[in-house]
Structure 1
Amino acid sequence: MGRYALLVAPSANRVYTQSAPELMASELAVFSERALGGRVEPAEIAEFGGRPYLSFEVEDGGLGAEDLRVLANLSSAYALFEVVGDGLLKPLGEQSLDRFDDDLITIQKYAGKTNEHFTKLLLNVTVLATSWADQLLARRFTVLDPVAGRGTTLNQALMYGWDAIGVELDSKDVEAYSAFLKTWLKNKRIKHTTEMAPLRREGKRIGRRFDARIGDVRDQPQHLTLFEADTTNVRGLLKGNTADVIVADLPYGVVHGSRSAKGLARGPLELLEESLPGWLSLLRPGGAVGLSWNTHVAPREDALDLLEEHGLEAVDAEGFEHRVDQAINRDIVVARKV
């Protein structure tokens, strides 16, 4: 067996930094089961030089180059080492999926922004719940965030080289995100085209549509679309079976809200009940849904029950519950469209 130590990256959020080792141990277990053939043994939290690491062993001779490329995408991974001799750490390195500079993810600062490490974790776990988990490094996934806010999930999808679709009703958030992305692409001198156009349905203007094409047109550019629209009415925005994964950080029922046809929805259940039929019409068979959830608002089992009522198959996603603040205890639920 090979023995390894994974240095946990610190987060700007102190509370998340405290939870990160346990969360990444659970994430590593998902990577092992669905992308590495179950060869990674359960990780333990250890300290080397006063810093938190995940210590784990790998069957069948240890990690190969392809395995290292997979593990490079763990949400809070900072550096990976092989443990040799009497505890000496030999650095290992393979390129992750990251296509751009990390300030695409980190530069935006605003009230209510989801921690970018958690956003990456939720996206990872959801993608690994799809029927294409073994294509993590090869497939260009299409990611839909139906409550996109200012685009943390959209940016993580772009970072991985994937296509992204978002839906957000708040015009200020749509304006802020489109302005940020255009400025960022220009400053990085990345080839791109962008367009903001009216969004119409049955001849009536219902919002706006922001489109970005990123990369050389001769080299399969990435595509991003952000709709300024009501997430409960997404059926007419896109063709069915468009997205591979749906990832959503749902309203926590505190200061996070989401507007629907019935007004401001403060809790996730009422939003899901209205929105799931439309969301799922856009999800390909074999795709997966990953949702973050405030267990103080409603038990996690309520979310799973609702997903199963809509024909989804629950996927095991244990060990991700953690405290955000006094009013928010966050967990995730994941389900696959069969």
Structure 2
Amino acid sequence: MPEHLILLAPSANRVYAADAARLGEAELRAMAAGFGLPEPAVSSTRVAGVDYLAVRTGAALDRDALRVLSELSAAHALFRREGGLLAPVPLERRSTYPGDLVTIQKYQGKTNEQWTRLLLNVTAAATRDPQRLLDGTLQVLDPMCGRGTTLNIALSLGLDATGIDLDTKDFQAYSAFIKTWMRQHRLKHSADESVLRTSGRTRGKRLQIEVAASKDAHKTGDVQRVTYLSTDTTDVDGLLRARSVDVIVTDTPYGVQHGSHGDRLARSPLDLLERALPQWLRVLRTGGAIGLSYNRHVAPRDELAALLTAHGLTPVDGSPDEFRHRVDASIDRDLIVARSPG
């Protein structure tokens, strides 16, 4: 049985790194199922004192399987085991922009980038057309985007993304960062800020970005678009086109104080989700999926699943606790993914 070893990327978060192999295994199983690949045999292993994720398949690794392995959030390098030797296998990963787009921002309360990428991956795999993740056509919405980790990850993959957040400080911080980053990397781009107004009512601000990875890409129209709406995520009627996004992925409020959010976040996200879901689901395409990262201390999984079901979604079944992990004493983090009918 062919065996490949995935060298896991280092994580800036020690606690997350301790669970990276287990989370990577769960992510791989979810992606294999979503992309219609045979279920692989996956396990942690150690070679010469270095930890790897071992993947055994019933046949040689074809290009579809290689592309899925390459997109794993924690995949740093891939090797094929040949007796006592490891032969490097080039990753076939979409990486449109430099990696510092995702890693350079540092601030209190920032979600681990690998976790955000994992959430995007498993949510995309649950859609009717997961290939959109690989071909660059997946449309992403983060309706509580904060300072834009999801937006930056989507952009780094060559995807279009929209973010929504009410916090004006987060909006201003993201606007300043992304404009500076694009200038420093000498990318052909436009970045326009405007007042968000409909029917004579001012509803916040809009940042509209269009950027190309190279001059040639810009000439051919191969550009990415990021939109950030600084407005109330429970009141976006008229601001986003219906059935315009493939996935909705977001961090729900964890019920702990960090940064400028602490004084306005409710202890539980369930009431917020009850009000926001009708607005979000109006823009989700048929066959799309929603992925929520949440804190089990403040949002019991069964209640969250029941809420998604009540709004016409179908939670994706998986092994209990497969993505659950500790962030700190106050955050017992997990994710839940649900499909839209169709």
TM-score range, shorter chain: over 0.9
Match 1:115 to one of 82, 104, 112? 112
Cα RMSD (Å) of the superposition?
1.6
Amino acid at match of 2:8: V
Q: CA deviation at 1:217?
A: 5.8
What's the counterpart of residue 156 of structure 2?
Answer: 159
2:220 aligned counterpart, secondary structure: helix
State the distance in 1 between where 2:286 and 2:251 align. Answer: 22
State the distance in 1 between where 2:295 and 2:259 align. Answer: 12
Instruction: Confirm whether residue 240 of structure 1 aligns to residue 242 of structure 2.
Output: yes
Cα distance change, pair 14–264 in 1 and its aligned pair in 2 (3 A): closer
Instruction: Provide, for residues 49-100 of structure 1, a one-character-per-residue CA deviation record: whole Å limited to 9, x for no partner.
Output: 222211120112x212342222111001111111111x32111113301111
What's the counterpart of residue 75 of structure 1?
Answer: 73
- Superposed, 1:189-338 pairs within 5 Å as 189-215=186-212, 216=218, 218-255=220-257, 264-318=265-319, 319-338=322-341
What's the counterpart of residue 141 of structure 1?
Answer: 138
**TM-score (normalizing by structure 2):** 0.93
1:28 aligned counterpart, secondary structure: helix
Q: CA deviation at 1:266?
A: 3.0
Instruction: Provide, for residues 118-167 of structure 1, a one-character-per-residue CA deviation record: whole Å limited to 9, x for no partner.
Output: 00000000000000124432251110000000000000110111100000
State the distance in 1 between where 2:46 and 2:36 align. Answer: 25
State the distance in 2 between where 1:328 and 1:290 align. Answer: 18
Q: CA deviation at 1:218?
A: 3.3
State the distance in 2 between where 1:227 and 1:115 align. Answer: 23
Q: CA deviation at 1:205?
A: 1.6
1:150 aligned counterpart, secondary structure: coil
Cα distance change, pair 264–7 in 1 and its aligned pair in 2 (3 A): closer
Amino acid at match of 1:177: Y
Structure 1: give runs of 5+ residues left out of the alignment.
none
State the distance in 2 between where 1:317 and 1:195 align. Answer: 42
What is the aligned residue count?
332
State the distance in 1 between where 2:142 and 2:203 align. Answer: 19
2:134 aligned counterpart, secondary structure: coil
Cα distance change, pair 193–217 in 1 and its aligned pair in 2 (3 A): farther
1:136 aligned counterpart, secondary structure: helix
Q: CA deviation at 1:317?
A: 4.1
1:320 aligned counterpart, secondary structure: coil
1:75 aligned counterpart, secondary structure: coil
State the distance in 1 between where 2:317 and 2:104 align. Answer: 33
Q: CA deviation at 1:257?
A: 9.4
2:16 aligned counterpart, secondary structure: helix
Amino acid at match of 2:147: R
Tell whether the 8 Å contact from 2:291 to 2:337 is kept in structure 1 after alignment. Answer: yes
Amino acid at match of 1:145: D
Cα distance change, pair 256–240 in 1 and its aligned pair in 2 (3 A): farther
1:265 aligned counterpart, secondary structure: coil
State the distance in 2 between where 1:313 and 1:257 align. Answer: 34
1:292 aligned counterpart, secondary structure: strand
State the distance in 2 between where 1:71 and 1:332 align. Answer: 21
**TM-score (normalizing by structure 1):** 0.94
State the distance in 2 between where 1:40 and 1:258 align. Answer: 43
Structure 2: give runs of 5+ residues left out of the alignment.
213-217
